[in-house]
Each structure stands twice: as C-alpha cells, then as structure tokens.
Amino acid sequence: MKILAFQGSPRLGGNTDLLLSAFLEGAGEAGAEVEKIHLYRLNFKPCLECGECDTTGECVIPDDFQKIYPKIDTADVIVVASPIFFYNVTSYTQAMVERAQARWVKKYVLKKPPTTGREKGAFF
Ligand SMILES: Cc1cc2nc3c(=O)[nH]c(=O)nc-3n(C[C@H](O)[C@H](O)[C@H](O)COP(=O)(O)O)c2cc1C
C-alpha cells in the first residue's frame, strides 16, 4: 500500500509534522510505502480557475505541483495533516485541495481513468 501524506504546517518539526511522522512510522512498520510532502517547501499557486482542466483533467499551471499529480494518481491512501489557522486548514493545505480540482474534474466530470492507469487513490 502506498500512502501519500501532505504536511500542511509551515513549521517543520512542529505539532502537525510530529504527529504525521508518528502516523507514517506506524504505517511504515505495518508494511506501507510512505511519502511525506511538506507543502510549504513547494513553490505552487492555488487554483486559478482558468478552466483548462475542464476539458482535459490536466492542470496547466507550470509550478512544483506538477510533480505531485503523479504521486496522487498512484497513491492508495492520501493523508492530509494541517494545523488550524483562523478556524480552517492552512492556506497551503487549502491550495493543495484546490489544485486537486483537476483530478476531481478528470474523475467525476470527464470520467477518465487516472493518468497512470491505477483506479485506486481516489482523492475525494
Ligand atoms: C495565523 C495563525 C492562526 C491560528 N488560528 C488558530 C485557530 O483558529 N484556532 C486554534 O485553535 N489555533 C490557531 N492557531 C494556533 C495553531 O493551530 C497551533 O499553534 C498549532 O499547534 C500549530 O501547528 P504546528 O505546530 O504543526 O505548526 C493559529 C496559529 C497561527 C499562526
């Protein structure tokens, strides 16, 4: 099982990061392949609602999130960990959710299979 984990706190080694690490350590010991993504280390924009993904299911914003899409496509489980900032998840966590719009469109509107051909790893 492949677990992709998004760490949405700007503080490396902070509460969220530590809790997520503990979870991933346990999952790793149970045999899962785990990968943690520190969202604040990526250079990426929130969704621009350009509409390009409406017909293709692919996001065209040329930033670091492009290398995240294949990881989403091949994950069996996606874990999201975020501290609360003003009664919500952090802005980078929200931006990650927005950028997943392309995959939501691909699956639910266009009804296309995932890019990598694996049906598992549904995000929503
Ligand atoms: C900008 C900002 C907004 C915050 N808003 C909330 C909030 O609405 N509710 C809350 O309980 N804590 C709030 N906090 C506190 C953080 O959630 C708390 O410090 C958390 O442990 C930080 O997680 P981390 O250690 O993983 O970075 C806020 C902190 C910051 C910096």
- The answer as to whether 117 is a domain residue is no
Reported pTM: 0.92
Q: Tell me, in angstroms, the distance from the centre of ligand 1 to residue 27's CA.
A: 26
| pLDDT value for 118 | 54
- The answer as to whether 122 is a domain residue is no
Q: Tell me, in angstroms, the distance from the centre of ligand 1 to residue 33's CA.
A: 30
Q: Could you tell me the mean pLDDT of each successive run of 10 residues in the chain, 124 residues long?
A: 97 98 98 98 98 95 97 96 98 98 95 66 46
The CATH number of residue 95's host domain is 3.40.50.360
Q: Is the CB of residue 12 below 6 angstroms from any atom belonging to ligand 1?
A: no
CA 34 to chain centre: 13
- The answer as to whether 114 is a domain residue is no
| pLDDT value for 119 | 47
- The answer as to whether 92 is a domain residue is yes
Helix (H, G, I), strand (E, B) or coil at 25: helix
Q: Tokens 């346990």 map to which residue? A: 26
Atom index in ligand 1 nearest the CA of residue 82 equals: 26
- The answer as to whether 119 is a domain residue is no
Calpha distance 119→115 (Å, rounded):
9
Which among 35, 29, 18, 22 is positioned nearest to 83, based on CA atoms? 18
- The answer as to whether 105 is a domain residue is yes
Q: Is the dihedral of CA 35, 38, 44, 45 positive or negative?
A: positive
- The answer as to whether 67 is a domain residue is yes
Which among 93, 75, 74, 73 is positioned nearest to 83, based on CA atoms? 93
| pLDDT value for 81 | 98
- The answer as to whether 53 is a domain residue is yes
What is the span of the domain harbouring residue 53?
Answer: 2-109
Q: How many domains does the chain have?
A: 1
Q: Is the CB of residue 11 below 6 angstroms from any atom belonging to ligand 1?
A: yes
Strand partners, 35: 4
**What would the two tokens of residue 20 be?**
């997520």
Could you say which DSSP state residue 66 is in?
G
